[in-house]
Structure 1
């Protein structure tokens, strides 16, 4: 296994250790997808998970305004990414529309007042795309030709206490403008 695969395996183990099946809501889609349409989405999802596992909060991310909170050591907190909606998302929550500025502002305000959140940053769509391109430029087969900048979502990355992860995920999953919520690997 290469480093990316190892990180993905670690991320999946982390999710398995933290979230049980009854904590995950049922899928919100009702229509069947075309077989050809899934490949770019799967590549983008895998790439996004790898970017998070590799440390998506490298330079170029914007703090969301949490002035009174200090970054938390990895041993005392879990980093959770809230991937926001793009037009490519087909779940009912996104309905094929990009997250609105109002939805981003509402999420930012909610994260800012959420006592479970110890630290949070906002990663723009453009910065997330730059990180994706840098990380996967040499992959075989190349991921870039099948992935477009429009399919890479903006995101919030929040650090929450280990005991609060399940409640945090349940609260934000399904909120307007949120496509999915993912726990970063340990």
Structure 2
């Protein structure tokens, strides 16, 4: 019975390890009216080239734009003709290499009768390199063009087996970022 409980706990920890963790934050102009918008449009029809083939990917651009559109449709903010939207949206994606180190005690040593001062704890440190993505979504006033709200999501990049998996992960990231908009509103 104890082995079964341990096995279930181990599988639960593994399952959570595959989940996407997105740290989100927001910043906004407290004087700007960020409520009551019903239409939006992209500020830039095409993202600027960065020189990084992981970012300058038309398939990724399409996924991000589709995820934003899906989220806003669910909030009853629909895409509009470019001439008369209430707000403009833009996004910016960056990828940086990061290093993570974990130290843990791997061995406990015990002295013997003749050498009681031998013993102690052995420590191991593991260093891993990974890519961290930062997706920034900006909302601008259609009247003035001023930035009203910025949402940022920071996440560890993962590879996906299928385009559907990639689209699902992108939607999750966008949803977590845009969940904060408009600031101070009940969700």
Q: What is the TM-score when the length of structure 1 is the normalising length?
A: 0.31
Larger radius of gyration: 2
Q: What is the TM-score when the length of structure 2 is the normalising length?
A: 0.30
Between 1 and 2, higher relative CO (CA 8 Å, sep ≥ 6) is seen in: 1
Pick the structure with more helix per residue: 1
Pick the structure with more strand per residue: 2
